[in-house]
Structure 1
């Protein structure tokens, strides 16, 4: 039996089953199997959820593989194909790419032949090509907790029937991990507790995020417990670099940690509307120079102007560029000269009038995470009443030894400046801002860059059943925000 594709090559199921015999986790292909899915769904199933021969001990010519077709550092394109030949010494292989994925090819010879040469490091051989195989592996893994063979068989059958009939489809990490015998998580996403405001606390938080992501989980972090920029750090007699810089450090883990399977990591990072670093947080991820210039020209808040100016980068035209653009415009003055379209001439006029080009500083900042602002009822009331809103944080600079001990031990457990104040601790107001200015900033940035999202944290805590267990909502995982 072979499974055909649109290409000249096809999957040799008899050989595949012989290869599968070396992997006790994988169930062989049988004639009754039919669920392969189509298009993107098929690629996602094969790339993210199937069990693969990662060590390539069975890889050989003719094998069906999933591979990186376009090697972009941020957004590589994956696709399917067949091994034409392997150079084990050079650790590379020639692969015939399925017609469906050839649109990602950019080299002329690859486009013409459909054959690419890629490192074995970006080629993987899926051993499960039907969804039924995944369902059987999952059912085996889920039933494995039973203490008798009879019960394991009984629950295998029950789980399998629900899975194969698509009555129930587990989360991706379950599909990938259950029954695979690997140390990956069975949960897609996690929410971390508030970050403890110390070097040790940040390091421990970072360590846990890294561990979760390495096992395939996405992570949500609320950084509102980290002290604001330029706040005194008494232990080292210095100033804090601020919550936003530390959150960027945590976000970078998304780019550094290779997750279980091949899915890209996901993080959600949140900051409270009352945090003194909230303006920097929102603007730091803005990638559109035009919006930064709009903010500078239209806001009445000096802090918004400052952070927009800090993010905006201006590169003056060189003399050579000035001469080139002036030369283009000069053609406009010569009747019948042709040569340049109206669009090119208009662009040259704008460039000369502006005197340079605008871009952004730190374009990679916080790109490892989605960001959201946790919005309180107090803030929304201030917006509705066009009132001032206080940006506040525990007054760590004014605390005595006893207060500082309480801060170090308990602030990260509370995580809300309002509750901290209710408990009798001094809170410092760093500044006031018109609530509508901050609200407009959120909306403008979200409109033109889809960041930040918003999360109504008071509403979430009012409605959650976590209160019954003495818990609170700290943040959401990457799937839970409103963009």
Structure 2
């Protein structure tokens, strides 16, 4: 492609308006429209909030598109460009990428020309390229509930004025969904009720999370009602795999569900500080082997050490690797020979000294969610007083038929072991731990892996106006925090 063509290619507004006629939800481009935003804001608007020709009915050469420029399984890069040619049989297209998005290209010919060959599956054609189009669609959708045409027109004008002047900017799910005539949510994020501690309850919770995420909503879950690891499950005469394992299963939905629009799913998963699985939960997302080794060597708590040891993975050197690293270290003893930097030689010496390499087990564990700890006033007082803190849960192993019925019927509505005990139900203390040890563990993991966050749940419930409606705070959604 010539330099001249690269400079002159632009959106063909007249042809785009012709394409828009096939989509009654979309308002045509008019001469007074000028809001496109810049930089990342422009990409986010076009990628996440605009109405698109998802079936590619109108896609043709010269079209302006949003696409995945770098197809990385974990961190794909999106960008903007123009269709140069389409091979419908192969379902591929050549795209001229806008200069701002070429920095992630790695093939020499792509870097030189800016032209890439991509599957049509990762290419989308936005029909709304100005913010005013989105504002008009939103205003139309929001005013559509009025009963008369006169009222719909009146409220369209009011809504449109507030939106287009940006006196009010709705949440992303409203921008994407309002007026689009699609089954997506108008809420960005949700908080789920406590999970009922049964296979059926977990399955129902999982189903609801999946439905919300598929329509574009983020979800907050508190798993504190799920019984701890190795607790008896009488119905199947077996042991529970624990709350953290079940929460990981729910978190995996983030990777599995393709959301309404193009954004990835979002989840916040929480566990209370009194839950017996809390140490496993805190360490679950630690990816740094050195920090795990530090915990093992410096924390004076056997359970924390065991949890760190369970997460840490050691792979012994093979004979071939030993020979290779020994060969590298030998270089420093031979005058005049180079080829290895001091850093490489030190690394080889360290591997020989240790006898292998450290990594982590389950590196993908809970990666579909952010995690946070629900901190209680009781725990924080124990930290201040340098006291022991009890990790406890309803004593389901000792309940008779009547006790289990009460547990199955109401525990998920209470969701707090302190309140459960006040109601007269038996509670089991699984272990005691110095509160400062647990507090230090939270801080170490948060410092070196950015998780867990902390949520002062007692403070939230003391201050919320939800109490006036007979409700309480269970968790936050992914947008609500983390501390």
TM-score (norm 1): 0.98
Alignment correspondent of 2:29: 29
**Inter-partner Cα distance in structure 1 for 2:198 and 2:109:** 55
**1:6–1:98: 8 Å Cα contact kept in structure 2?**
no
**Inter-partner Cα distance in structure 1 for 2:365 and 2:8:** 46
Alignment correspondent of 1:234: 234
1:481 Cα deviation after fit: 2.1
**1:54–1:125: 8 Å Cα contact kept in structure 2?**
yes
SS in 2 for 1:11: coil
**Inter-partner Cα distance in structure 2 for 1:354 and 1:73:** 33
Alignment correspondent of 2:206: 206
Unaligned runs of 5+ in 1: none
> What is the count of residue pairs matched by the alignment?
480
**1:7–1:99: 8 Å Cα contact kept in structure 2?**
no
SS in 2 for 1:368: coil
Q: Deviations over 1:119-146 (max 9, x none)?
A: 1111000000000000000000000000
Alignment correspondent of 1:50: 50
Alignment correspondent of 2:395: 395
Instruction: Note closer, same or farther for the CA distance 1:119–1:215 as it changes in structure 2 (3 Å cut).
Output: same
Confirm whether residue 322 of structure 1 aligns to residue 330 of structure 2. Answer: no
SS in 2 for 1:455: strand
1:6 Cα deviation after fit: 7.5
**Inter-partner Cα distance in structure 1 for 2:17 and 2:415:** 55
Alignment correspondent of 2:406: 406
Runs of 4+ in 1 over 6 A off after TM superposition: none
1:7 Cα deviation after fit: 4.2
**Inter-partner Cα distance in structure 2 for 1:89 and 1:358:** 48
1:92 Cα deviation after fit: 1.1
1:8 Cα deviation after fit: 3.7
**Inter-partner Cα distance in structure 2 for 1:6 and 1:238:** 66
Instruction: Note closer, same or farther for the CA distance 1:392–1:132 as it changes in structure 2 (3 Å cut).
Output: same
**Inter-partner Cα distance in structure 1 for 2:7 and 2:124:** 19
Unaligned runs of 5+ in 2: none
SS in 1 for 2:413: helix
Q: Deviations over 1:358-387 (max 9, x none)?
A: 110100000000000000000000000000
SS in 1 for 2:69: strand
1:243 Cα deviation after fit: 0.3
**Inter-partner Cα distance in structure 2 for 1:28 and 1:427:** 64
**Inter-partner Cα distance in structure 1 for 2:463 and 2:397:** 35
Alignment correspondent of 1:433: 433
Instruction: Note closer, same or farther for the CA distance 1:422–1:6 as it changes in structure 2 (3 Å cut).
Output: farther
**Inter-partner Cα distance in structure 1 for 2:9 and 2:187:** 37
Alignment correspondent of 1:192: 192
**1:139–1:157: 8 Å Cα contact kept in structure 2?**
yes
Alignment correspondent of 1:160: 160
Alignment correspondent of 2:298: 298
1:147-296 equivalent positions in 2, closer than 5 A: 147-296=147-296
SS in 1 for 2:478: coil
SS in 1 for 2:372: strand
**Inter-partner Cα distance in structure 2 for 1:218 and 1:8:** 41
**1:372–1:481: 8 Å Cα contact kept in structure 2?**
no
Instruction: Note closer, same or farther for the CA distance 1:7–1:227 as it changes in structure 2 (3 Å cut).
Output: farther
Alignment correspondent of 1:18: 18
Alignment correspondent of 1:377: 377
Q: Cα RMSD over matched residues? A: 1.1
1:482 Cα deviation after fit: 2.5
Alignment correspondent of 1:142: 142
Alignment correspondent of 2:78: 78
**Inter-partner Cα distance in structure 2 for 1:7 and 1:380:** 62
Confirm whether residue 67 of structure 1 aligns to residue 74 of structure 2. Answer: no
**Inter-partner Cα distance in structure 2 for 1:246 and 1:310:** 18
1:5 Cα deviation after fit: 11
TM-score (norm 2): 0.98
